[in-house]
Structure 1
Amino acid sequence: MRDFRKPYGLIVVGGNEQPIELKDVQITCSVLNLTSNVTTKFTYKNQHSQQVQGSFVFPLEDVAVYDFEAEVDGRKIVAKCRPRAEAKTTYDEAVASGHAAFLAEQEEHCEDVFQMSIGNIPPNGTVIIQLKYVGHLQCENTDGNGSSKSQAVFTLPSVINPRYSPADSAIKSEFEPFAKAVSMNSCTYSLSFEAILLMPEDITVVRSERDTYSVEFSTEGRKSAKVKMTSTFKPDHDLQMVIQMSGQLSSFGICEPGDPGQTGILGKDCLMAQFMPNFSEFEDIQEQRNEVYFVVDRSGSMHGSNIEHASSSLLLFLKSLPAGCRFQIIGFGSGHNCLFQEPTDYNETSLERALQYQREMTANMGGTQVLPALKTAFDSPLSGQGWYKQIVFLTDGDVSNADEVIGLVSANVDKGRLFAIGIGEGCSTNLVSGVARAGRGMAAFIRDNAQMHGAVMKILKEALQPRASEISVKWSVTKKNASGTASPVNVISIPTKVPPVFAGRFLTMYGILPEEGQFAELSGEVVLEYEILGTKYSLRIDMASVQLHQSQPDKTDVPIHRLAGKCQMTELSDKYKAELMRDPEKSKSDEAKSLRSQIEQLSCAINVLSIFTGLVGVDPVKQEIPAEAPAPAPAPPPMFCRSMPIRHYMCMAKTAPRVVGSAGFGCSNMAASIAAAPRSAGFLGFGGKKKASKSVLFGRSRVAESAAGACVRESLPQSAVSREAPLIADATGEVDFEEKKSVESPLLKLVELQNIAGFWNLVEDLAKCINLSLDSLQKLQPKTWSASYSQAVTDRVWATALVLAYLHSKLSASLDEWELVGKKAKAWLIQQASMFEKSPPTAKKLVDGLIEQAKLVVNK
């Protein structure tokens, strides 16, 4: 393995391409009511003797960026949200006239990518940049080993992978592409992360797969704590904080008072209702007449462990499908192919063909053309009346046209539901979360491949659980008037279309009150209503239980208001994308213009960044020291690269000399990842050393040297790519061949051995999986089901009971991975017992007793 050092930061492009020194990064986070309010502050020192300009690119998840400030030589400048063209003009004119200025923008096609530009940084001057944003933690209730608990996950992205850009785009670019970086030597800086937690249940542990935290609990109990990162952060992964709690989360409501100094939405009181549905009575019921589509990313960027885990996850998928469903597998890369001509019945023949596909599946299909693959899944006609389409989409998310893909899903949501799984560090959260939201499904992110099987099976479980329909939220809220009588309050509900209902996952709604200062006078309730399998259900939040949300440390932040506004902008944006994908020419239609205008106006009103706006600030003090004459512009890319579309990240680079960097924290791995696509380049500016594994596109130290090669590789037709093993060349011309690993895990081997009906055969391979000899298993096999029954225990019945006993006794920590497989096996055992015992409870009791006997064997 070769050590490629690719640190990047704020640097001067052209001339000597020297870095601007990053001195310090401070990240503070306040977690309250399962929302996070984050402040990121980073300090740069311009060590050069002339004014310079800079820009850097960084990733964020689905958050509301509402504050952007800069301090230049002691002067504080606060940015305001303005229409994007106006903000850019303000910035350019300020820089041209000698003023220090700064600008924040959001990538119009990939909304999890942001860019900051800083103009006229004074010579030997210090610039402190502060960014604030608010978001939701990813929360869920979990059941395991007989205990009920919950967890909330905070993620700060620090990685963006290079993103494949299709040659043709339905949604055209309106704004300039973001700057690209050039690699430089590393700079030394400090990074700190601290969080204040106030959780609804007692905290049991705060952990991370890659980082270490200290936790100091308050004197009032374990619901409140101060968390501090104690390990040295490395920029090869996203910063994540998993907060585990001892109890289960339940529905709750909060109210955030408006800011008295603001007009419009920010000045009014805002309610947030968090509903937590419980489907425990449907635990053993799965939706019938499902068509399940597995749409699997097989592009070159999935090589290595990603495709191996995707393959083993597909094995779990296939063995966990219920009887009576139909299924289809679509693999995609530069092109896509379907395993069957149409969704086919789930039987032994189709399963064996699918398993052969799974065993041979490699990342050998070139680029990442997501759009045609998903369009094929949506356009495929249903099997008939009463069937329902469920699409499970698995990808590393490395595409630049997320807006088109989200628009496609939004335009086709009436044809089926879509669930998305993002794999690896740097996966596009905008793409994965966006398509799941638009497809009224759920999203999961696997940043550590060890988590993949469990997360994937949770998604399948959610796809197969009974669907909730007729979903509505009613704000039955009243206010006492002067005469003492109650009158209804007209609450503005956000979003306008209620999100889907899933067990153990929060459904979030916001309500804007028509007058400020009303909360104390309100009574009534907020009610979520839905229907499952013909039965109506409701969840209620009484206004008497609603608590005040006191944002810290600045009450003018009003983070719940910003989240409500962001939610409304997202809903409008999804409609806008769907409108364009139905007909690209509709960008000029009255509907599209209205949606765009609403997003722009709301963005400016609540000072939350959108793709149609920019946050811009200008230092009123003009710099007197002239900037040095700019260095000559770098040479343009080769001619065959110039023919690529403007958004083709692998080829395009700005030619005007300027300061660019890959991330706000100064020393990350953006440039070579854009030029030559190494996997999981550190990106949020955390910067540092990166070890690159084999089978990746290793970049050289300059964009110009490797951009051409990257374009050639990415434009290879699908026919030119090996179907046996992906051919992946690095920038030095080396080629690596990816070899498919065989199934080694005992769990995966057991799953592989399971019959489609749910049983196992008592064979040598099974005995090896549970670490016992076949001879001993046969000798310990009971003759009958129990002393009261004469029916013999067959080899298949005994083998199935043994496997279930082994799973519960030895692999209980992996319950999420084998739960559906186990349910299928137990259902088969109950079916066998029901052949001679007609009472369902008694048949189930016989099965449980047999499994207990088997536990005595596997635990010896």
Structure 2
Amino acid sequence: MNTHRKLHLMNKLKKARAEGIAWFFYALLVFSFSLYTTQKANAGEEPASGQLTLVDATGNSLDALHLSTHVDMQINGLIAKVTVEQAFTNNSDEWREGVYVFPLDEQAAVNAMEMVIGDRRIKGEIKEKEVAEKIYQQAKAEGKKASLVSQQRPNLFTQKVANIPPRETISVSLTYTQRVEYHSGQFGLRFPLTLTQRYIPNSANLETNVVENTKNWDDERWENSAPDTAEKTPTSIDLAAGGYGWQSFNPIIHTQKPTPQVPDAHLISPPMVLAQGQYGDGQYEQTGKDNRATISIQLDAGFNVANIESLYHQITINKPPSSAYNVELTNGSTLMDRDFVLQWRATASSAPQAAVFKETLAGEDYLLLMLLPPQGQQQHTQSLSRDIVFVVDTSGSMQGTSIQQAKRSLQFALRGLNPSDTFNIIEFDTSFSRFRSRPVSATASNVQAAVSWVNNLNADNGTEMYAALEEAFDQLASINPNGTENSKSSNNLQQVVFITDGAVGNEQALLSLIHRRLNNARLFTVAIGSAPNSYFMRKAAQFGKGANVFIGDTAEVTHKMNALLSKLKTTLVSDINVQWPQQSEVYPQRIPDLYAGEPLLLAAKTSGAMGTIDISGNTALQPWQSQLTINPYHNNSGVAQVWAKSKIDALEDSKTEGANPQDVRKQVVDVALTHALITPYTSFVAVEELVSRPAHQPVQTQAVANLKPQGQTVSYPKTATSATFNLVLGIGLLLLAFALQLRSIIRALLHSFAPSECSGVNV
């Protein structure tokens, strides 16, 4: 080998070695970081858990701030008065501020708060939100114990507790009034113990690319094929602002960034962790929390009760003579990982058909009216053909048992279609896809193909509801009203059935869409999971002029979907009109249609309530009317708060319909300050005047984690790349570095020893 060739070969080898070394160190860096993050994940040190933990003398982990909750309910007829006491125990040797985002029923009218320090109870005051925040922050800075309770959503609140001393406990007690629910002969109420973490859309761009599944599959091929979603294109996502839109945190305070659609994202994104002993991502969660609640209920239904049951918890029931029923948790306490639901039913002979509850407060009379639709009408109503679009959530929050409940619910509804109906299915996560390009007739073959398509759905990624709902409305609007294969009659009922857990933060944008695009259609919601966003699900059904149902267990699918399908097919009473004896302020102002098993519920304020209330409407066969007499001697505590909450909800809804936000705010504040209610613009604040924390000792803020809902056994999509993926990437890059170095050496040798012979060879 001559000198020139030797130099050429040496230069090639040096270059190959330099490139290989560079790739090797880059791969080694990625591999080392991946190994570090994997070890942290395996050790249960996931930063997104929001946990601060200490270690006791035995080496066991101990929460720096421990939360315990006690719930006391007094139920009288249609009114429930609930007191929730949340205790924050500081197990550390440092002063703490606790921040806890927690759910309540969206109908809760929170009208009292107390801070409990030992045997001292400090009553909270209702203030405009900005004023209350300033009072709290000043007290915190001065070292005074203080508490602040604010509303982020009608069913989501934030509790702040400042200057909790080392090894001591501060409790905050909230009292609220809510209306008892009634559905299909069953009375009940729901107390949320945790929440499903909200998806935060990261872009104002709501456009989504769609994949159409319009192949002419036969039944056998559909049985064995998954939905064609490989080409689905996600909506515009800002990865730096939170990846798929699921929350991200630092270990002390949650730091989800605000987005154009959800400017308060950081206020509705608490840390979420598994309960102790639960499994996640296929492995035991060593650092799970033990948030527990005790529940005590006194139930005076006002009629003879046939049975009392809790859907998801074991309860013990006692009935002392001449007293209300006492209901307790059988095990004394429960993990706060799913909603508590209590239901009771009247005996056949005592089932009420109507009720009026009255409260007199500050010279004003407040009324709460409940009226059931006429009995025996349903079998006489005629079911019209329907154009129906099913919208099903397949996002990450639906993982676990929720997606199974959703699929079974949807398949049940599909099998209940009539041949004269038309239908389509839209499934969505970060993007959406369709069963067919437009609604098709509900023939046996089409229904069977749809059932098979649904069977192959899986849950993953983000929750971009907006585009999926918009597509559903577009499909209904595009159907030819003059009669085609897809529309048998211009009298077809047009309906959307929305199956989801409602775990989003942009509720207002979605409700605005429903209001604008619904036209003559009706929207029905099926709330899925052990801790759904009940506010959004009920409000969407209200805006959609439909009804809603909650399914928290797969065993409930059949009877609850049967009840919903009955409502889908018939409206019992429409065009309802109510005449009050005096001039009254009534909410809701637009009375909805009545469906089978659904009551008419109205709240009114009037002066000198006495006389009768006349109700009229139309059934499928004939006009209908009823009359109720007001008992002037009854006084039912809590009715005034129910009315005030109903008015506040109506004012907030008016923003969706174009009302001036500043005018709405002023009116809401006036009602809230009069009735001492928490609203989006008012908060409760309590301050102990005694200075407790020495000025030289700092106070550390800690976000108190909620438990992940029961049944969610896998993690949501993460903002950052997963540790496992990083580890695989690091190993792959190491192998690539060696391969590139070997390739460069071989090419250098070949070109040096036989450059002319190897000119056509690719290495």
TM-score w.r.t. the length of structure 2 is 0.72
Find the partner of 2:87 among 35, 43, 47.
43
- 1:660 partnered with 2:703: yes
Distance 2:53 2:701 in 1: 5
1:253 aligns with 2:356: yes
Q: CA deviation at 1:22?
A: 4.6
Q: State how 1:331-730 maps to structure 2 within 5 Å.
A: 331-363=427-459, 366-380=461-475, 381=477, 382-384=479-481, 385-466=490-571, 468-475=573-580, 477=581, 489-514=582-607, 518-519=608-609, 522-523=610-611, 525-533=612-620, 535-544=622-631, 548-551=634-637, 559-579=638-658, 591-623=660-692, 625-626=694-695, 628-629=697-698, 657-662=700-705, 668-669=706-707, 680=709, 693=713, 696-697=714-715, 710-712=718-720
Match of 1:99 in 2: 144
Q: Is 1:91–1:616's contact at 8 Å kept on the other side of the alignment? A: yes
Q: Distance in 2 between matches of 1:616 and 1:565?
A: 20
Q: Are residues 41 and 9 of structure 1, via their aligned partners in 2, closer, same or farther at CA, if it must alter by over 3 Å?
A: farther
| One of 59, 70, 75 as aligned partner of 1:26 | 70
Q: 1:362-421: per-residue Cα shift (whole Å, max 9, x none)?
A: 335x32111111122223315424333211100122222222222322333434211101
SS of structure 1 residue aligned to 2:519: helix
Within 5 A, what are the aligned runs for 1:306-345?
A: 306-345=402-441
Secondary structure of 1:71's partner? Answer: strand
What is the distance in 1 between the residues matched to 2:48 and 2:560?
A: 33
CA separation in 2, counterparts of 1:324 and 1:547?
54
Pairing partner for 2:172 from 129, 140, 146:
129
Match for 2:115: what amino acid? A
Q: CA deviation at 1:256?
A: 1.2
| Contact kept in structure 2, 1:462 and 1:502, CA below 8 Å | yes
Q: Determine the C-alpha separation between the residues in 2 that align with 1:25 and 1:680.
A: 17
Separation in structure 2 between the aligned mates of residue 354 and residue 188 of structure 1, nearest angstrom: 42
Q: Deviation digits for residues 565-623 of structure 1, max 9, x if unmatched? A: 111111222221343xxxxxxxxxx7232223322332232222122222222222333
Q: Which residue of 2 aligns with 1:204?
A: 306
Q: What pairs up with 1:810-825 in 2 under 5 angstroms?
A: none
Rounded to whole Å, the distance in 2 between the matches of 1:59 and 1:619 is 26
Moved more, 178-187 or 224-233: 178-187
Mapped to 2, the partners of 1:733 and 1:212 lie a distance apart of 44
One-letter amino acid of the structure 2 residue matched with residue 680 of structure 1? P
Counterpart residue number, 1:58: 102
Amino acid at match of 2:680: I
1:215 Cα deviation (Å)?
1.9
- Residue type of the partner of 1:105? S
How far off its partner does 1:188 sit? 7.6
Aligned-residue offset at 1:6: 10
Contact 2:142–2:695 at 8 Å: present in 1 too? Answer: no
- Pick from 240, 243, 267: which aligns with 1:177? 267
Distance 1:238 1:175, change over 3 A: closer
Structure 2: distance between partners of 1:430 and 1:733: 41
Alpha-carbon deviations, 1:290-330, whole Å to 9, x = none? 21111111223323433333333323212212342222211
Is the 2:156–2:268 Cα contact (8 Å) retained in structure 1? no
**Do residues 138 (structure 1) and 156 (structure 2) align?**
no
Query: What one-letter code is carried by the residue in structure 2 that aligns with 1:243?
Result: W
**Alpha-carbon separation, structure 2, partners of 1:624 and 1:164:** 38
- For the residues of structure 1 that align with 2:171 and 2:456, how far apart are their CA atoms? 53
Give the SS at the match of 1:201: coil
Q: Which of the two has higher C-alpha Rg?
A: 2
Shift of 1:51: 3.4
Amino acid at match of 1:92: Q
**Contact 2:50–2:703 (CA under 8 A) maintained in structure 1:** yes
Alpha-carbon distance in 2 for matches of 1:319, 1:187? 42
- Aligned residue in 1 for 2:192: 157
Letter in 2 for 1:99: K
**Cα gap change, 1:206 to 1:393, in 2 (>3 Å):** same
Alignment partners' CA distance in 2, 1:416 and 1:67: 41
**Mapped partners of 2:440, 2:423: distance in 1:** 6
**Structure 1 contact 140–506 (Cα < 8 Å) conserved:** yes
Aligned equivalents of 1:10 and 1:176: distance in 2? 13
Contact 2:85 2:173 in 1 (8 A): yes
Residues 189 and 440 of structure 1: CA distance in aligned 2, closer, same or farther (over 3 Å): closer
Count matched residues: 603
Q: Distance in 2 between matches of 1:181 and 1:367?
A: 18
| Alpha-carbon separation, structure 2, partners of 1:10 and 1:302 | 22
How far, CA to CA, are the matches of 2:45 and 2:51 in structure 1?
16
Q: 1:288: which partner in 2?
A: 384
Q: Distance in 2 between matches of 1:140 and 1:367?
A: 32
Q: Partners of 2:564 and 2:143 in 1: how far apart?
A: 54
* Amino acid in the other structure paired with 1:119: A
Q: Which amino acid aligns with 1:250?
A: Q
Q: Which amino acid aligns with 1:377?
A: A
Greater mean alpha carbon deviation, residues 200-209 or residues 129-138: 200-209
Q: Which residue among 261, 270, 276 is the counterpart of 2:372?
A: 276
Residue aligned with 2:377, SS: helix
Query: CA 1:7 to 1:629, structure 2 compared with 1: closer, same or farther past 3 Å?
Result: closer
Q: 1:467 to 1:246 in 2, by over 3 A?
A: closer
- 1:806: which partner in 2? none
Q: CA deviation at 1:126?
A: 3.6
Cα distance in 2 between the residues matched to 1:5 and 1:154? 37
Q: Note closer, same or farther for the CA distance 1:191–1:300 as it changes in structure 2 (3 Å cut).
A: closer
Q: Is the 8 A contact 1:329 1:338 kept in 2?
A: yes
40-49 or 463-472, larger mean C-alpha shift: 40-49
Once residues 419 and 400 of structure 1 are traced to their aligned partners in structure 2, the CA distance between those partners, rounded to angstroms, is 20
Q: Identical aligned pairs, as a percentage? A: 20
Amino acid in structure 2 at the alignment position of 1:434: K
Q: Write out per-residue CA displacement over residues 108-159 of structure 1, whole angstroms, 9 at most, x where no aligned residue.
A: xx43221100112245544221011122222233xxxxxxxx3222221112
Cα deviation for residue 57 of structure 1 reads 1.5
* CA–CA separation in structure 2 for the residues paired with 1:340 and 1:26: 50
How far apart, in 1, do the equivalents of 2:712 and 2:470 lie?
35
Q: Which has the higher contact order (CA 8 A, sep 6+)?
A: 2
Deviations 1:727-746 (A, max 9, x none): x9989989xxxxxxxxxxxx
Deviations 1:171-190 (A, max 9, x none): 45269625744879678897
2-structure distance, mates of 1:135, 1:127:
26
- Of 212, 215, 227 in structure 1, the residue corresponding to residue 317 of structure 2 is 215
Q: Name the CA shift for 1:297/1:182 in 2 (closer, same or farther; >3 Å).
A: closer
Given residue 164 of structure 1, which amino acid in structure 2 is its aligned partner?
Y
Question: Which whole-Å CA distance do the structure 1 matches of 2:546 and 2:712 have between them?
Answer: 35
Letter in 2 for 1:173: P
Q: How far, CA to CA, are the matches of 2:188 and 2:43 in structure 1?
A: 32
Alpha-carbon shift at residue 625 of structure 1 (Å): 2.5
Please give the root-mean-square deviation of Cα atoms over the aligned residues, in Å. Answer: 3.5
**TM superposition shift of 1:629:** 3.4
CA 1:179–1:430: 2 relative to 1, 3 Å: closer
